[in-house]
Chain A
C-alpha cells in the first residue's frame, strides 16, 4: 500500500492504496466518482480522461500513486466552470451524446480543445478528437457542439 495525498475536485484527499491501482479505479471505486468511465484500459478510447493539474490525461494508464500531490478534476468537478457549462449546453442542443458513456471523457477533451485552440476549425477539431471514441453519434453532434462553442468564443 502507498499513501497518497491529492486534491480531487477541490477537496483534499488522503488515502492508502495498492501500488498497482490506477487513477481511474481510485476515482471510481474508492472515491465513488463514477462519471469517469473505463472504455479500454489501454489508453486509446479516451472515456477515462480527467484533468491532472489542469491538463487532460488518461486516468486508466496513470497510476494513482503517480497522482500523489496533484490536483485532479473529474467530470463531477466542473460545476462552476464556464467553458464546461457552454460545452454541456452545446452538447445538449446538438445531440452530441446518445448512450452517454464516452461523454464525460469527450467533454473534458472538448474543453481542452476550446481552451487551448481557440482558433481551431473543423478539421483540427476532428483531429484533436481522434483520441476519444464514440460508438453512437458518428461525431456529428460532438463536432458541431465544439465548433459552436469555439464560434461563441470568437464572436
Chain B
C-alpha cells in the first residue's frame, strides 16, 4: 500500500524518471507541425475582423478561385452540433466556416490553400470580405439586457443555459447574523499550451480512410466528430495524436480547423497541414475562465458558515463546443461552489450567456478556479469582518474525516480525506505565525506583505453517472487497456487516453510493473492513436491515471492469468502452483521468463498446453470505479506575497502546498503536475487576460500584450503530501492533473487583500494587475 514505506523501486509510489524525456531532451519529439509529406499543402484562414456582423460578400482574389474555400464550397460539411440533455439547454450549430454571419473576431470565414503557409497567407490577405456590422455583445452581464443584440437570432435572449437550486434560509436565519456580500469577476484567458493547435490530414486510399494527425487530448472523440460532421463512417477516420505540446483543455474538443483540414485533404487529394500560430491562438483561443459572481455568505459571529447564496454568470462566448457543450461550466460551477465545506443552506443560480467572443472551453480546473476563488475570497472577507484567522474558519467548516464518505450539499459524494488537516499543515508550512508577527512593517520600497490561503476539493475521474447527469453527448464508460506480450517478453500497453506531458508513458508502465513485475523499460506505452488503442473518451477531468491506470491493472491481471497457464505447462506443474513474481512465472519447480512465454506463444506454439486461452497473450480489458461518482482530491495552498503600494505590482514570495491525491503512482510526476498547475494559477491571478474593447476587438494578440508566467513569476514551491487512498479506485488513486491550478487565484487574492487590509483595500477581479491593485488602493485612499 502507498504509505507503508515499502514502496517498490519501480511500481506504484516510486519516483521513476520519465521514459519520454529522452526524446524531448534531444529534440526528437514529434509534434504535428513536424510532419511533412511530399505534395502537402498548407492552410491559412481569412478570419473575421469584426465581432458581430452579417457577411455581405466574400470575394476570392482573381487567379486564386481554386485556392480559396468558403462555407458555400464546404456545403457538405455539417456544422458541429453538441447536444445536451440538460433541461432548457439551447443547442446551436457551430459552423466550421462562418455561414452568413460572424459571431466573434477571429472566426474563420474562408480558408486558403497553397504550397507554403506564407503563400497561403498571401492569398488570405487578398480575400476581401464585406460586413454589415451588428452591435457586439462583449460583456456577459450586458448580454442579459433586454435590448441586447441576439447572437443566435432564433433564440429569445442570450442565455444558453440556466441552473437554479433554492433552499430555505429561514432555518439558519437566527444563527447566521453575519452576512458578507461580494461581487467577483474572473476575466477571460487563453490556455496557451506552448504548442498551439495543429492538424495534418491525409486521405489514405488503401485504407479508404482519412488519416488525421492532430494535437489533441481526445483522439477518439475527434475521430467520432470528424466522421459525424464529414459524413464518413467511423472506420473511415483514424486520428493520431503524436507528441502534443500541452493541452490543458483546449485540445479536448473538436475544432473547425480539424474538420476543414479533413475536408480539404479528401477534396484536394493531397496532405493538408495547418499549424495554429500564436496570434491565432490568442485571438480565437481566448476561450476560458470568464465568470462573474454575486456571493452572499451567511455565518455566525464565531465563524460557522451556514448559508451560501450565489448568482453566477458564465461568459460562454459565441458557440458551443463539441462534444462537451458550453453548458458544462455553469453546471460545474453550481455543483462545486460550496467546495469542501459543510454548509446548511445553499441557493444558487447560474446563467450561461453567449457573447461575441470565442466559444468557452474547459480549461484546467474547469469552473473550479472560479468557484474556489469566489468562495475562498468570501471566507477571507468573513475572517476580516469577524476578526478571526481565515484558516481557522476553513478548518471549522470543512467536512471532517469522520464523516467520510459524505454527500455534500451540492450532491458531491466525497470519498475520503482529512480536509482540515491540509489547512493546518499548509498554515504551518507557510509560517503563518511568523508572517503575522512581522507583518505590519512596510519595507523600504513601500511594499506590504500578506498571506493567503485557498482550499478546494476536486472531483476527478468521475464517470458515467456524473457525465450523464450533465447531459453531455459523450459520456465516458468503461475505460479500456490492451496489453500484448511481445515475442521477446516485452509488453505493449495501449490506452485510448493521450499523454501530453503527464508522463503516462512512465506511470502506466509503473502500473504494469505493479501487476506483472515487468521492468518499465520493457513496457512500450502506446496512446493517442485510434487505430491502435481501444476506445476512450480521452484525457480530461483528471481521469487518465485512475481510469486508464485502472484498466491497465485489470488487463495485466488477465494477461497474468494466461501467462501463468502457459508457464505452469512449461514448468510441468499445476496451474495453481504457478504465479507471477518479479516478471517471471514461478512455481516450486522453477521459473519461466516472459521472454520464454513469448517465444512459445509466437514461435513455438507446439509447446503450448491444450487449455491455453485462444485469445493468446493479447488482452483488452476495461475498468470503471464502483461507484463512479469520482475520487475527490483536495489541497490547501498558502502563499505569501508582497504588494508594491506605489506601482501595484505583486510578487509571490513563498508558496506552500499540501495536497492529497490518494495513492501516488509517481510522486515526482504528482509534484510536477501540481507546480505546473499552480503556475498557471499564478497566471490567472496576476498576469493573463484576454481583454476586449466595446466593439469586441481582442486586446491581446501577441505575447507582448498577453503576459505569460515566466521563471521570475513562479516561486520555488514547497509541497507536502497526504495520502488518503480512495476506497473506490484501483490502488486508491485519485486524479490530480488539474488541481494545482484551482486555488491559486484565491490564495493570491487573499494574500493581496491580507496585505492591503490596513489600507482597507480589496481586489475582486483577476488578474490582479498593477493597474487593478493600484485602482483598489486609490479607491480605498479616496474613501478614507
Show the binding face of A for B, using Cβ within 8 Å. Answer: 18, 20-21, 28-29, 32-42, 44-45, 47, 74-76, 88, 91-93, 95, 97-104, 107, 122, 125-127, 129-143
**Bitwise interface map of B from 660 to 684 toward A, beta carbon under 8 Å scored 1, else 0:** 0000000011011101111110000
Q: Can you list 26 A-B contacts (CB < 8 A)?
A: A37-B245, A40-B703, A41-B278, A44-B702, A44-B704, A88-B26, A91-B21, A91-B25, A92-B25, A100-B245, A101-B193, A101-B194, A101-B245, A103-B25, A122-B716, A130-B710, A130-B711, A133-B710, A134-B194, A135-B192, A136-B194, A138-B675, A138-B679, A140-B672, A140-B714, A143-B711
- Does B676 contact A137, Cβ atoms closer than 8 Å? yes
Give the residues in chain A near B194, CB-CB below 8 Å: 37, 39, 45, 47, 99, 101-102, 133-136
Say how far A152's CB is from chain B's closest CB, in angstroms: 17
12 new A-B contacts, CB < 8 A, other than A92-B22, A100-B21, A133-B708, are A32-B36, A34-B30, A95-B18, A95-B668, A98-B246, A103-B29, A127-B711, A130-B710, A133-B194, A141-B672, A141-B675, A143-B716
Say how far B584's CB is from chain A's closest CB, in angstroms: 29
The one of A41, A101, A129, A142 in contact with B246, judged by C-beta atoms closer than 8 angstroms, is A101
Say how far B268's CB is from chain A's closest CB, in angstroms: 20
Residues 260 to 309 of chain B near chain A (Cβ within 8 Å):
275, 277-279
The 6 tightest CB contacts between A and B, nearest first, are A35-B27, A100-B24, A101-B245, A98-B501, A75-B27, A138-B679
- Does A99 contact B195, Cβ atoms closer than 8 Å? yes
In the complex, what distance in Å separates the CA atom of A136 from the CA atom of B335?
Answer: 28
Give the residues in chain A near B712, CB-CB below 8 Å: 126-127, 129-130
- Does B27 contact A139, Cβ atoms closer than 8 Å? no
In the assembled complex, B356 has its CB within 8 A of some CB on chain A: no
Say how far A87's CB is from chain B's closest CB, in angstroms: 8
Say how far B53's CB is from chain A's closest CB, in angstroms: 28
The one of B27, B668, B680 in contact with A36, judged by C-beta atoms closer than 8 angstroms, is B27
Interface size on B, residues (CB 8 A): 57
Which chain B residue has the least Cβ–Cβ distance from A41? B277
Give the residues in chain A near B714, CB-CB below 8 Å: 138-140
Give the residues in chain A near B668, CB-CB below 8 Å: 95
In the complex, what distance in Å separates the CA atom of A40 from the CA atom of B27?
Answer: 18
Give the residues in chain B near A36, CB-CB below 8 Å: 27
Give the residues in chain A near B195, CB-CB below 8 Å: 37, 39, 99, 101
Check A99/B25 contact, CB under 8 A, given A133-B710, A140-B714, A140-B716.
Answer: no
In the assembled complex, B433 has its CB within 8 A of some CB on chain A: no
Show the binding face of B for A, using Cβ within 8 Å. Answer: 17-18, 20-31, 33-34, 36, 118, 192-195, 243-246, 248, 275, 277-279, 500-503, 668-669, 671-673, 675-680, 702-704, 708-712, 714, 716-717
- Does B676 contact A126, Cβ atoms closer than 8 Å? no
- Does B21 contact A92, Cβ atoms closer than 8 Å? yes
SS class of chain A's interface: helix, strand, loop or mixed? loop
Say how far A2's CB is from chain B's closest CB, in angstroms: 15
In the complex, what distance in Å separates the CA atom of A121 from the CA atom of B469?
Answer: 52
In the complex, what distance in Å separates the CA atom of A34 from the CA atom of B279?
Answer: 21
Say how far A69's CB is from chain B's closest CB, in angstroms: 24
In the complex, what distance in Å separates the CA atom of A107 from the CA atom of B24?
Answer: 10
Give the residues in chain B near A95, CB-CB below 8 Å: 17-18, 668-669, 671-672
In the complex, what distance in Å separates the CA atom of A105 from the CA atom of B30?
Answer: 15
Give the residues in chain A near B18, CB-CB below 8 Å: 92, 95
Give the residues in chain B near A34, CB-CB below 8 Å: 27, 30-31, 33-34
Which chain B residue has the least Cβ–Cβ distance from A91? B25
In the complex, what distance in Å separates the CA atom of A88 from the CA atom of B26?
Answer: 8
Which chain B residue has the least Cβ–Cβ distance from A44? B703
Give the residues in chain B near A42, CB-CB below 8 Å: 278-279, 702-704
In the complex, what distance in Å separates the CA atom of A40 from the CA atom of B705?
Answer: 12
Check A135/B246 contact, CB under 8 A, given A34-B34, A44-B704, A98-B676.
Answer: yes
